[in-house]
Amino acid sequence: MQTKMQALVTYGAHDYRLEKVDVPRAGKGEMIIKVEGCGICAGDLKAYEGGTVFWGDGKKPPYVEVPAIGGHEFVGHIVEIGPGIEEKETYGIADKDFKIGDRVAVEQIAPCGECRFCKEGNYHLCVPHNVYGFKNYLNGGFAEYAKLTKESLVYKIPEDMPLKKALLIEPYACSMHAIDRAKIGKDDVVVISGAGCLGLGMITTARKYDPKALIALDLNEERLETALKFGCDLTINPAKGNLETIINELSGGYGCDVYIEATGHPSSVKQGLEIIRKGGRFIEFSVFLDPVTCDWSVIGDGKELDMYGVSLSKGCFPKAIEGLYSGELMSDNVVSHIFKLEDFKEAFKQSGSGKGSIKVAFTFE
């Protein structure tokens, strides 16, 4: 195995540098994978753009610890296995029977296994909350090779799964967790705000619950066309139609039963509070660039809403792998743009603009 590799190293907001760095080596309970590809997440983009949730607001320390190698939506092949994996020290990679050459995907979080939430089975809420690509001791997939720590949650994936499907395992698993939280029933009018990669993952997952109406919102007409193909009954561009009137017509004047916010834009939060019915379920999925303000009286005295947050992808990786591989989860053309790592500035620009693109990724093939 080579000793140096190409990597995109984070030093600060807008300070990302293409460098030659040492290839990591596997210690006890660890594995090294040769990265096939890595998607650019909305979180990666917001970190790049300087979001306070990643870099702090002067009152709390930044979440990102630099220098770090970004990327948490990655897949690859095992090229090195360290000693001790068979000892099963954690519930992470030690629980699987791996060998050199296996093709794998890894969850974005490497849970500690020791905190209250890990012990309760809610590993996605792990207190240290170490996510690949944001910590300098947990480097991610914006590099030719990546180290999977002994805490990591790793899954074998089929060798013949197309890379463009494999790159959707992590985001679709997050989408599936959001739908799990929404508890969709057959009588529900469901609105999903945002028809990007994650919103489309939610749409193709929600369709199997056969709600009364499944509606996608977006300002991008191309994405709305894709949402229809993925199973929506109706799509609406809020800038072009009276959204509240349309939703009231569909719901007998009450409002939607479920509203899933998947845009990361403050206006989408306010919009959801306006069109959701009393006693409805509001699902907040997004990461925002800056703090969001809204009229909280709507949540309580106004409508007595059930508010559900969504973090990561608890228990959904196996379902996402199976659904993507079988075709049960639609994925055609979601990975729309592939870049080489040296073209990272163009890749981030494309991902941020959303024009003609849905999921943008780096590959090393």
Per DSSP, the three-state class of 178 is helix
Residues 148 and 203 in one domain: no
Residues 203 and 271 in one domain: yes
**Residue 153 phi, psi dihedral angles, 5° rounding:** -105, 110
Q: Residue 122 belongs to what H/E stretch?
A: none
Strand partners, 104: 76, 156
Residues 187 and 303 in one domain: yes
Question: Is there a contact between 215 and 191 (Cβ–Cβ < 8 Å)?
Answer: yes
- Which residue, 119, 169, 212, 188, is CA-closest to 335? 169
Question: Is there a contact between 113 and 92 (Cβ–Cβ < 8 Å)?
Answer: yes
**Residue 125 phi, psi dihedral angles, 5° rounding:** -100, 15
Residue 107 structure tokens: 């969850």
Confirm whether 327 is domain-assigned.
Answer: no
Domain that holds residue 260: 175-309
Residue 48 structure tokens: 């790049």
Confirm whether 127 is domain-assigned.
Answer: yes
pTM assigned to the model: 0.94
Computed on alpha carbons and rounded to an integer, the radius of gyration of the chain in Å comes to 20
- Which residue, 4, 145, 15, 129, is CA-closest to 67? 15
Report, as an integer, the average pLDDT of 22-30.
Answer: 94
User: Number of folded domains in the chain?
Assistant: 2
Residues 131 and 235 in one domain: no
Q: What share of the chain is helix, strand, coil (3-state, %, to 5)?
A: 30, 25, 45
Q: Report the alpha-carbon distance of residue 256 to residue 258 in Å, rounded.
A: 6
Residues 105 and 145 in one domain: yes
What's the mean per-residue pLDDT of the chain? Answer: 93
Report, as an integer, the average pLDDT of 57-76.
Answer: 91
Does the structure show a pLDDT above 80 at 359?
yes
Contacts (Cβ under 8 Å, ≥6 apart) of 363: 36, 37, 163, 338, 339, 340
Residues 209 and 105 in one domain: no
| DSSP state at residue 261 | E
Confirm whether 321 is domain-assigned.
Answer: no
Report, as an integer, the average pLDDT of 77-83.
Answer: 94
Digit-coded pLDDT (tens) for 206-264: 999 999 999 999 999 999 999 999 999 999 999 997 899 999 999 999 999 999 999 98
Q: Which of 83-92, 224-233, 264-273, 307-316 has the lowest mean pLDDT?
A: 83-92
Does the structure show a pLDDT above 70 at 90?
no
Vertex 150, ends 147 and 151: CA angle to 5°?
Answer: 105
- Which residue, 330, 338, 313, is CA-closest to 155? 313
Domain with residue 188: its CATH number is 3.40.50.720
Confirm whether 314 is domain-assigned.
Answer: no
Cα 65 vs. chain centroid, distance in angstroms?
20
Domain with residue 158: its CATH number is 3.90.180.10
Query: pLDDT grade, residue 57 (50/70/90)?
Result: confident
Tell me what pLDDT residue 88 has. 59
Residue located via tokens 């991610």: 140
